[in-house]
Structure 1
Amino acid sequence: MGVLLEAKELSKSYASGPNDGQQALKKVNLQVRKGEFIAVMGPSGSGKSTLLYSLSGMDRASSGSVTFGGEEISSYSEKRLSELRLEKMGFIFQHIHLLKNLTLFDNIVLSAYLAKRSSRKEINSRALEYMRKSGIAELAGKNITQASGGQLQRAAICRALINQPEIVFGDEPTGALNSKTAGEIMDLLADINESGTTILLVTHDVKVAAKTERILFMLDGSLVAERRLGKLKKEKQDGRAREEELTGWLASLGL
């Protein structure tokens, strides 16, 4: 598979005073290949979320470059970045941002209506299929107060997929869920990845990271280590062994 997303010498500083600043990213170099399932780990404040936002164009790096689909997007205008995110990227967050005055179904289809890349009939059909695969089809007409946290996160995943993005970014997408629901969400993301969608997520949870194929570890704004576990083979139920391998690797890093 070819390279979908690449960062070169990516740095990000936040000014904390007139003469100094906090460096959140320090010359990060990273390649994400099409179809990969990647987790970014590291302690709080290590730069994980800043990296995700900088790669997706939700935040601008101070220096360096980001290339997506063969085009450098670092110098894109805000309007062009917004269009790129709408059409080719999906986003899942820990805190689920759904509109209270809309049903779950309407929350899912709204961005696709705005993108106008398909007819409403096609969009509606795609949304219902995603909801069916996610196990929430019966909630299509419900509002967000009538669904559990896990069901709302499934709706958020459907929304992230509705424009058929090339990559989905997740910022602690299971962080607010219990372990059983988090496992179900990760199984759903694994199925999405198997269908060809690239996924890059930030997590602190070993159980979550163990279900991805490549783990990157950040410390003080730099990528300092990497571990490849390969694709999870569900039929072999090797999840526990992968968790133990990942835990041992983190321990070897002194963590």
Structure 2
Amino acid sequence: MNIRLEQVVKTFQSEGGAYTALKGIDLEIGAGEFVAVIGKSGSGKSTLINMITGIDRPTSGKVMVAGQDVHALKRSRMAVWRGKNLGIIFQFFQLIPTLSLVENVMLPMDFCGTYPSRDRKRRALELLDRVGMAEQAGKMPSAVSGGQQQRVAIARALANDPPILVADEPTGSLDSKTAESVFGLFRTLADSGKTVVMVTHDNDLAQKVRRTVVVADGEIVSESVLQAFPRLDIDQLSQLQPLLGRREYPPGAVIIREGDEGEEAFIITRGEVEVSVRGADGRETLVNRLGAGQYFGEIALIRQVRRTATVRAAGTEPVELAVLGRSALRDILGQSDPTREDMDRLIRQRMEELALHGLRGRHA
């Protein structure tokens, strides 16, 4: 994996006491992925990015980037390692105002010595051409627009040909047309094999990337939860995250049993489960098999009936579940009409499946 975070915790100390911005983050991003990191203000997404870039250090946990334990590096080596492996793009460009645009792009090469001196200006001009700024190369940053400065910042981030680009709100101060153009550059870079990690508050842009990581209350919302409830917005996901419990069952264990009262629904985050119903002859009939990103147990909560299906952990590995109580499920459905419609549709489908097995009227 190109980027791997293992149980990363970050706690800040202040006069008002301790504040934990990241709460045991586990995250893997593969080489060549284009990932958007989204979340509400204060969710921890920028702190997460600062862990990857080495700008900040975790209170505990490990951060591996391009095979390097980032925070095992001495500070004297950190800047050079960062310059060679990471291209960092900030929201407000941070170009050196006293240097021309081409000199700004040359700066990382001068610092890291990655290219011979005689080749650096030529490479800088090529990169400026790549982002449509070659004709402005001799100008000072103040002489070009914000969108043009951001393009130069992208060229500068590419100066040492790093395998990873990290952008923190790179379109936050741009108009929608310029933001779309900058986003197109990131997409092209990802298509060429770069790993691109972009923090954004723009849901429309986030939906266009190959993968979205949602940060809420210092935790990453499971991608299985996103798959289960794809039409929840950021605010709703942020409210849902702290309501979710976590549970693990060994292979073969009963998760819910026929005849029990239903007080919880479950989202599968790892592994598979088998759903079975006991027929008139007392034998169990397998009616469904569910995997990560699917949920079960919702019918008893919504229809207010006892469970008449048994669900067991399947396979040979433990099953991991996110657990959602009755009131929390109702709150989420009350806030998201599209999600309620999706769930109603699935309930009807599952009831039809039960009918096919001669079990009409039974609920899971």
Fold-level similarity (TM above 0.5) = yes
Aligned to 2:156: 159
Shift of 1:126: 1.9
Q: How does 1:1-255 map to 2 (within 5 A)?
A: 3-17=1-15, 20-226=17-223, 248-250=231-233, 253=237
In the alignment, is the contact (CA less than 8 A) between 1:37 and 1:199 conserved in 2?
yes
Shift of 1:125: 2.1
Matched residues in 2 for 1:249 and 1:226: separation? 13
Q: 1: CA distance between counterparts of 2:191 and 2:43? A: 29
Corresponding letter in the other structure for 1:130: L
Please tell me whether the aligned partners of residues 167 and 198 of structure 1 are also in contact (alpha carbons under 8 angstroms).
Answer: yes
Q: TM-score, normalised by structure 1?
A: 0.87
d(CA) in 1 for partners of 2:217 and 2:181?
A: 32
CA distance in 2, matches of 1:123, 1:249: 48
Local SS of the residue matching 1:211: coil
Larger radius of gyration: 2
Contact 2:106/2:121 (CA < 8 Å) preserved in 1? yes
Unpaired runs of 5+ residues, structure 2, are 238-331, 337-364
Matched residue SS, 2:80: helix
* Pairwise CA distance, 1:144: 1.0
Local SS of the residue matching 2:174: coil
How many residues are aligned here?
Answer: 236
> How far 1:96 sits from its partner (Å)?
1.4
Q: Given the superposition, is the C-alpha separation of residues 247 and 143 from structure 1 closer, same or farther in structure 2, using an over 3 Å criterion?
A: farther
1:184-210 per-position Cα deviation (integer Å, ceiling 9, x unaligned): 000011111111110111111012212
Q: Distance in 2 between matches of 1:71 and 1:100?
A: 33
- Determine what percentage of the aligned residue pairs are the same residue: 38
SS at match of 2:155: helix
- Give the distance between the partners of 2:165 and 2:233, measured in 1 at CA: 25
For the 8 Å contact 1:40–1:217, the answer to whether it is kept is yes
Distance in 2 (alpha carbons) for counterparts of 1:212 and 1:195: 15
Alignment match, 1:234: none
Change (3 A) 1:111 1:33: same
- Which residue identity does 2:158 align to in structure 1? L
Shift of 1:249: 4.3
Indicate if the aligned counterparts of 1:65 and 1:72 stay in contact, CA closer than 8 A.
yes
Worse-superposed segment, 27-36 or 61-70: 61-70
Superposed displacement of residue 247, structure 1 = 7.8
Distance 1:69 1:88 in 2: 7
CA distance in 2 between counterparts of 1:72 and 1:105 reads 33
Given that 1:218 and 1:225 are in contact with CA atoms closer than 8 Å, whether structure 2 keeps it comes out as: no
Residue identity matched to 1:248? R
